[in-house]
Amino acid sequence: MGLDNSFRQFMDKFQMPDFSAMDWKGSVDRLRQQFFVASRAIERDAPEMANISLVTLPGPTGPMKARLYTPLGAGIPPGPGIVFFHGGGFVLGDLDSHDMICRRLAEGARARVIAIDYRLAPEHKFPAAHDDALAAWNWVTTHADACGVDPNRLAVCGDSAGGNLSAFLAQELLRTGKPGPKFQLLLYPLVQFVDIRTKKMTFQEGGFFISANLFEYFRDAYIGEDAQRMDPRVSPLFADPASFKGLPPAHFVLCGWDPLKDEGLAYADKMASFGVKVSVREHPGMVHGFMNMTALSDTVRDAIRDAGIEAGKALGSI
């Protein structure tokens, strides 16, 4: 299937920085500005929330910000919840860039969403984001009443790098024998940082969302040493078998025009081979990161809501 035309027109307007000619700070600042502009839009049909509140929780090196979304259909607490980690290659993104995704996920799932604002690279190298994700999960589960959620009915969710953090959490909690999520909602997840150059680049090589150079840039920004690329925390696809046996059910949302699609399928297949219940929904005409483009098409908005419905069904809120 061809690339969705609205995305082709939109992506043609973007040009990535010349990574070889720019210093880290200059290129990061520019990327963050572009990402913010691209992912922010006022939408007249934005789902109405019963409440949105800011939360401060303790992190490994200081306070972390989070945002709690309570949809109109959430019901009386405690109820199901989704702990959400934004994407952006561990370099981009924040609570605002993924605000609309969280609203639509909350509405679709009829469940509260707790979005986490973790530390970003290159200012904070691996495993900073992963340590923050674990700290956030531990806080939510021990302060479930404050969030209005049932700690036994929690899902993890994230897009791209946020999907990496979600997969890591599910594996790490299984490895350590601690209570983990009941469901994983993995939105075009990044599940390995070992092999970049052989990823299939089926659209413009210098495109805003799928450039091989961009993936290398993100990897080098976050991973300080080559040997760390195989660390199962950042490359959960290559974790040992014990990290897969007993994982919670997972639903994958993948894109036809995404170099991460094959590894997403590989991760889904690997989980299924160990008896994990897995479902996959592919959007053939969509690109990596398409859920940030809710203003572009009804298809995007419906895709987020549908993903939320999958989580709501798994958690019993639907």
Active site residues: 160, 258, 288
Handedness of CA 15, 21, 24, 30 (dihedral sign): negative
Residue pair 13/32 in contact (Cβ under 8 Å)? The answer is no
Cα-based angle 223, 68, 83 (whole degrees, multiple of 5): 45
Rounded Cα gap, residues 222 and 120, in angstroms: 8
Q: Does residue 88 come out as left (phi exceeding 0), alpha (psi in the -120 to 50 range) or beta?
A: left
Cα-based angle 62, 68, 69 (whole degrees, multiple of 5): 160
| C-alpha to C-alpha distances, 314 to 81, 92, 101, 213, 311, nearest whole angstrom | 11, 30, 19, 37, 5
- In terms of C-beta density within 10 A (0-12 exposed, 13-18 middle, 19 or more buried), how is residue 318 classed? middle
**Residue type at position 65:** K
241 preceded by a cis bond (ω within 30 of 0) = no
